[in-house]
Amino acid sequence: FHFDVLCPYAYQTSKWIRDVRDQLGITINWKFFSLEEINRVEGKKHPWEREWTFGWSLMRIGALLRRTSMDDVDRWYALAGKALHEDGNRPHEPAVARHLLTELVLDPELVDRAIADETTNDEVKADHDHVVEHGGYGVPTLFFGDHCLFGPVLIDPPSGDAAVRLWHAVTAWTEFPDLYELQQPKTKAIERRIAETFRPYLEARDWVSINRGVEVGFTDDGFEVVGAADRDRTADRSST
């Protein structure tokens, strides 16, 4: 299960797959994917070239945790995801990241150790590149062996029997190697539901949302295209 802590869709899907795990005993191998890197504008620094960057640095913390305990990564992602996507907090700030580790009875100094250890960059990049090499472009991305699937994309993850039914629907896809896409179009009503679900995240984020080269805004009436990903945002900053 490849995720970026910053992605609200991946967080909702992670809640679903944990429910499936609790019922069916599946194993979840948590891996990373960078929305900052996949949406990077040409000429800008790669996230691993920056001292601290929102999603990438969080995943470096996760990489350090993963070396000793996949369970710690699981608990950390659940807590950091809830902090951002439900509580409207900022786990991407170093002080908050340290506090979250303390809540998990883990050493808050892991934040500084992860950033000081250049090999955590290598681990995050290896996970990210694995998705890209298989044609992936976002999260959640699931791997069943070498079979790569994007999704399921959820805002109200099912639980109980419904979660298991969705699991069987997803895994059935792997039987059909020539089946590439099945998508439900988003109406304005659906977009408004998504925007309302994402409200805590939207209020806490310190970045813009990019979807395949286009900046997307969230309004009370749904989604809107703001402009190209590489547009000049100087006027936006001066008006706030």
> What is the chain's Cα-based Rg?
18
Cβ contacts of residue 20 below 8 Å, gap of 6+? Answer: 26, 163, 164, 166, 167
Cβ contacts of residue 227 below 8 Å, gap of 6+? Answer: 214, 215
Partners of residue 219 on adjacent β-strands: 222
Cβ contacts of residue 40 below 8 Å, gap of 6+? Answer: 46, 47
Cβ contacts of residue 50 below 8 Å, gap of 6+? Answer: 56
Q: How far is Cα 196 from Cα 222, in angstroms, rounded to an integer?
A: 9
Q: What are 47-74's pLDDT values in tens digits?
A: 999 999 999 999 999 999 999 999 999 9
State the DSSP code for 176: -
Q: Could you tell me the pTM of the whole model?
A: 0.92
Residue-level pLDDT, tens digit, the chain, 240 residues: 999 999 999 999 999 999 999 999 999 999 999 999 999 989 999 999 999 999 999 999 999 999 999 999 999 999 999 999 999 999 999 999 999 999 999 999 999 999 999 999 999 999 999 999 999 999 999 999 999 999 999 999 999 999 999 999 999 999 999 999 999 999 999 999 999 999 999 999 998 888 777 788 888 888 887 787 777 655 564 333
